[in-house]
Amino acid sequence: MIDLLRAEVLKLRSTRTALGLLIAALLIAVLPTIIAVLLIPEEELAATEGAVIAVLGVMPAASLVPILCLVFGILGMTNEYRHGTISYTYLTSPRRWQVIVVKLLVCAVIGTAVMLSAGALALLTATLGAEVRGIDLGVSETLTDSDWDLARDVALILLTTGMMTAFGVALGALIRHQVIAVAGALIWSLAVESILAGLKPSVGEWLPFTAMMQVVANTGDIEPAGPSLSSFEAFLVSLAYIAVASVAAVSITMR
């Protein structure tokens, strides 16, 4: 297993997929913040103590980077089928379930690290932007309840991103065809689930990507407008989807 982990890390280091993911995530995180710093009137920034800068910088990263990591997970698996390197991978490690498990773990860790980097850059840019505009963000040296809530939300965002990346790997191993897997996942997550959740909320809350997003959204601070899972329930449902997709992928791969 250690050799497989090293091999997966080497594959990601020697290809441009992970680097492209990191660059795209950082751009998504920093560009809205820069636009906010340059265009939002100083009176509005002062009225919100610069919070609008942080919101405009962090929210796009929190909502879009997990989708990027989903695509990254799909590509991490389907690239091997597309370029034929999966044959060498399975010849080197005949226990194919180990290959998929290692890919799940490595890609999930990388997706989480990318999300952490994007969020940190967004906050840093927001802080620097507020200082340039002369806005006090009101950061105190002592930890408050809101600071602990923020830390919890950050941890849940990182957890969700890791799960989305792992789910992408499982989908890639299950579908194998790169274009179909990427296009199908994006259309389903961005369009189909939104429509189903709007038409039938009691059904939509159980769908995979909606459940993963509920891990962060339903932490108890905001009362949801309609039926929804709690953060812990959404976490368990998300793990179930990842497990089912992974087991199905391993079963198909073994055959």
pLDDT tens-digit readout, 56-93: 656 777 788 899 999 999 998 999 888 888 888 888 88
Listed in sequence order, the residues at least 6 apart from 16 whose beta carbon sits closer than 8 Å to its beta carbon are none
pLDDT tens-digit readout, 2-21: 888 888 888 888 888 888 88
| pLDDT bracket for residue 252 (50, 70, 90) | confident
Listed in sequence order, the residues at least 6 apart from 163 whose beta carbon sits closer than 8 Å to its beta carbon are 108, 212, 215, 238, 239, 242
Residues 61, 24: Cα–Cα separation, whole Å: 10
Among 70-84, 140-154, 234-248, name the one with the lowest average pLDDT. 140-154
Q: Does 234 have pLDDT greater than 60?
A: yes
pLDDT tens-digit readout, 192-232: 998 998 888 888 889 999 999 888 876 544 444 445 788 88
Residue for token digits 């191993």? 173
Cβ pair 176, 80 in contact under 8 A: no
pTM: 0.84
